[in-house]
A and B are shown apart, each in its own frame.
Chain A
Amino acid sequence: MKWLSEIGEYCLFLKSVFTRPIKWRIFFKRLVNEMQLIGIDSLLIIMVIATFTGAVAVIQTAFNIDTPWIPKSLIGFTARQALILEFCPTILSLILAGKVGSLIASEVGTMRVTEQIDAMDIMGINSASFLVLPKIVAALLFFPILIILSIGFALLGGYLVTVFTDLLTVAEYVDGLHLDFNPFSVGYSMIKTVVFAFLITSISGFHGYRIRGGALEVGQASTRAVVDSSIFIIIFNLILTQLLLS
């Protein structure tokens, strides 16, 4: 039953987060700042992980489709589908849950235990909204960019495999990438990403915001933020896959 009351608490939290900012100018300033922290600062890790994931996807597929009567271009095709539909949105969102989720929970949690949130509340500022709304909006705007980039880097990783190994030729790979391409698959990937972005930032903000105590609790909040975001990403991934593909 504890989880039920926590979900209720989370809904109330969301209700106070989604209120109109007092000053839009300050909101946009914070938004830009959060895009830097949440988005730009995640670029490098996303690039590295996407490139390697793409390379591995191509190698795996090549080893598993090792029959003479299946054209090699299917390797490129299969890897592309897997990367766009699942690997990039889901795996990279899980990585971002670790990086961004813990950042948000520890930042908000520290502000809670050092009474900075109380200081805002007493001024008459809606602290939940002031602190967490820019983070959610920044992630909704920036995660899709990150995931598009990651798809690019993943395909590049696959390309590097074709260049440096003789599993398949560049031409076969590129053929496969073009084969039967449906732009909806990217849209599908973006829908998932946006949902995951919301889950990560709101759940992590919630865990940071609700704690009481000290440094120990900040650490625990940060762990719970990552664990809960990851679990909900996996659950929603299943739901969305079923909904969007049926």
Chain B
Amino acid sequence: MITVEHIHKSFGDKPVLKDVSYTFETGKTNLIIGESGSGKTVLMKSIVGLIVPDSGDIKYDGRLFSQMNGNEKRKLRYEMGMLFQGGALFDFMTVEDNVKFPLDMFTDRTEAEKRERVQFCLHRVNLTDAHKKMPSELSGGMIKRVAIARAISLNPRYLFCDEPNSGLDPRTAGLIDELIEEITAEYNITTIINTHDMNSVLKIGTTVAFIYKGNLWWQGDKKSILNTDNQELNDFVFAMELTKRLKK
């Protein structure tokens, strides 16, 4: 469980997050939704500590992030996996070495043990024949799979996904969503997903937080989102032609 309390963040004099408080639940896919530029990425990066919020608290299962010392923060980092918008695979390494990288850096396992773990993770994301490829040779969907494999290689307790299916075709996007949902349930991970894709919301939105201009505007789940009378959320949900027609 990850709790954020009263998070504020401005860049210069431009406020991006305004007093956001929310709880992300364990073993569930917790979605943060909102238009482009609404502050989803800034919120996620504040939670993981890549951005330091101006004020507010972040608690990992009760542990206050801002009060951890260097060593505790480092330990917490081993419990985190993150999937970046563009994949962020290390482009100077093969697929296999990308997944092996966290194991190389942070474990004292033997080469054979590490290879076995890499094999397991790549198999888990249904990639079996890309071990020796470089990231530049992969399709968008494959990049996301490798990124997931890398994110889970150290058995994280917390998984963060920034727009996991942006730039993918609907079918592949659906498969990536399913994969994240399965992994979350299988290993009881606290998963947070940023998205503006209504397909994902309706499919894996176990909990949904709607960010509007830096405010937490609405919270609920994939069922309640269709019957809301919140104007801004309605505009967001029914922006797509398909959902508009469904409503009629």
Q: How far is the CA of A173 from the CA of B204 in the complex (A)?
A: 81
Tell me if B84 counts as interface (CB < 8 A to partner A).
yes
Tell me if B61 counts as interface (CB < 8 A to partner A).
no
- Nearest CB of B to A134, in Å: 12
Contact call A115/B88, Cβ cutoff below 8 A: yes
Question: B78 touches which one: A23, A110, A119, A124 (CB < 8 A)?
Answer: A124
Q: How far is the CA of A231 from the CA of B144 in the complex (A)?
A: 42
Tell me if B105 counts as interface (CB < 8 A to partner A).
yes
Given A22-B105, A116-B91: A122 and B86 interface contact (C-beta under 8 Å)? no
Tell me if A12 counts as interface (CB < 8 A to partner B).
no
Q: How far is the CA of A123 from the CA of B80 in the complex (A)?
A: 7
- Nearest CB of B to A243, in Å: 39
Contact call A119/B105, Cβ cutoff below 8 A: no
Contact call B85/A122, Cβ cutoff below 8 A: no
Q: How far is the CA of A124 from the CA of B106 in the complex (A)?
A: 9
Number of interface residues of A (CB under 8 A): 15
Tell me if A125 counts as interface (CB < 8 A to partner B).
yes
Kindly list chain A residues whose C-beta atoms are within 8 Å of the C-beta of B84: 115, 118-119
Kindly list chain A residues whose C-beta atoms are within 8 Å of the C-beta of B101: 123
Number of interface residues of B (CB under 8 A): 23
Q: How far is the CA of A111 from the CA of B88 in the complex (A)?
A: 8
Contact call A115/B102, Cβ cutoff below 8 A: no
Given A123-B77, A124-B77: A23 and B85 interface contact (C-beta under 8 Å)? no
- Nearest CB of B to A158, in Å: 41
Q: How far is the CA of A118 from the CA of B91 in the complex (A)?
A: 14
Q: How far is the CA of A22 from the CA of B106 in the complex (A)?
A: 8
Q: How far is the CA of A192 from the CA of B141 in the complex (A)?
A: 50
Q: How far is the CA of A116 from the CA of B109 in the complex (A)?
A: 24
Contact call B91/A123, Cβ cutoff below 8 A: no
Tell me if A114 counts as interface (CB < 8 A to partner B).
yes
Contact call B106/A119, Cβ cutoff below 8 A: no
Question: A26 touches which one: B50, B91, B105 (CB < 8 A)?
Answer: B105
Kindly list chain B residues whose C-beta atoms are within 8 Å of the C-beta of A115: 84-86, 88
Tell me if B137 counts as interface (CB < 8 A to partner A).
no
Kindly list chain B residues whose C-beta atoms are within 8 Å of the C-beta of A41: none
Interface centre among A22, A110, A121, A123 (most CB of B within 10 A): A123
Question: A23 touches which one: B49, B74, B88, B104 (CB < 8 A)?
Answer: B104
Given A115-B84, A115-B86: A123 and B102 interface contact (C-beta under 8 Å)? yes
Tell me if B48 counts as interface (CB < 8 A to partner A).
yes
Kindly list chain A residues whose C-beta atoms are within 8 Å of the C-beta of B78: 123-124
Q: How far is the CA of A22 from the CA of B101 in the complex (A)?
A: 13
Contact call A121/B50, Cβ cutoff below 8 A: yes
- Nearest CB of A to B156, in Å: 10
Contact call A118/B86, Cβ cutoff below 8 A: no
Q: How far is the CA of A22 from the CA of B73 in the complex (A)?
A: 15
Kindly list chain B residues whose C-beta atoms are within 8 Å of the C-beta of A110: 91
Kindly list chain A residues whose C-beta atoms are within 8 Å of the C-beta of B49: 122
Tell me if B208 counts as interface (CB < 8 A to partner A).
no
Kindly list chain A residues whose C-beta atoms are within 8 Å of the C-beta of B105: 22-23, 26, 123, 125
Kindly list chain B residues whose C-beta atoms are within 8 Å of the C-beta of A116: 88-91
- In this complex, what residue of A is CB-closest to B108? A23
Interface centre among A110, A115, A118 (most CB of B within 10 A): A115
Q: How far is the CA of A9 from the CA of B45 in the complex (A)?
A: 22
Q: How far is the CA of A28 from the CA of B246 in the complex (A)?
A: 59
Question: B48 touches which one: A22, A26, A122 (CB < 8 A)?
Answer: A122
Q: How far is the CA of A111 from the CA of B93 in the complex (A)?
A: 13
Given A23-B105, A115-B88, A116-B90: A122 and B74 interface contact (C-beta under 8 Å)? no
Binding site for A on B (CB under 8 A): 45, 48-50, 73-74, 77-78, 80, 82, 84-86, 88-91, 101-102, 104-106, 160
Could you write out 7 A-B pairs with CB less than 8 Å apart? A110-B91, A115-B88, A116-B91, A118-B45, A118-B88, A119-B84, A123-B106
Q: A22-B105, A118-B50, A122-B82 are in contact. List 17 more A-B contacts (CB 8 A).
A: A22-B106, A23-B104, A26-B105, A111-B90, A115-B84, A115-B86, A118-B88, A119-B82, A119-B84, A119-B90, A122-B77, A122-B80, A122-B160, A123-B105, A124-B73, A124-B74, A124-B77
